[in-house]
Amino acid sequence: MVRIAAALWIVWAIVVWNVVFDHVIVAAGREYLRAALVAAQGPGPYAHMDDWMRPAIARGLWMATAASGVILVVGFAAIRAAVARNPKAGFHVEEAGSHVETVRSGEVA
């Protein structure tokens, strides 16, 4: 059960990373199109796509990674808290002599 929960949190973090990164890139693309239209209709300088998209890529990477990181930290903390509250729900640690063993619930060490 713990492995399924961990896998679901990881999948959610990956999905959120992709959504956040895509949103930042799409928003920057729209801003560039507006700037390019204004530049094309006026006497101002040509709007270079790199001037708009390169900062957006860096911003998107940081924002997406931060959002995913928060999700992973919260998810794994929640899993740890749930297992600590109910050790029979998944894996728990039992001391056996001078060493510590990880044992699946219901198994004999």
For 16-39, the pLDDT digits (tens) are: 999 999 999 999 999 999 988 988
Positions of the chain with pLDDT under 50: 93, 95-96, 98, 100, 109
Residue 92: predicted pLDDT: 52
What length is written for the chain? 109
Q: Is residue 28 part of a domain?
A: yes
Structural domain count of the chain: 1
Task: Flag whether 109 is in a domain.
Answer: no
pLDDT at 42: 84
Give the model's pLDDT for residue 86: 80
What the block records as the tokens of 33 is: 């199109």
For 66, the domain range is: 2-104
| 15 located within any domain | yes
The pLDDT, as a whole number, for residue 90 is 61
- Beta bridge mates, 99: 96
Between the CA of residue 39 and those of 32, 43, 109, what are the distances in Å? 10, 7, 73
**Which residues touch 13 (CB under 8 Å, ≥6 apart)?**
68, 69, 71, 72, 75
Distance, CA of 18 to CA of 7 (rounded, Å): 17
Give a yes or no: residue 69 inside a domain: yes
pLDDT at 85: 86
The single-letter code of the amino acid at 57 is I
Please tell me the distance from the alpha carbon of residue 39 to that of residue 1, in angstroms, as a whole number.
57
What percent of the chain is helix, strand and coil (3-state, nearest 5)? 75, 10, 15
Global pTM value: 0.72
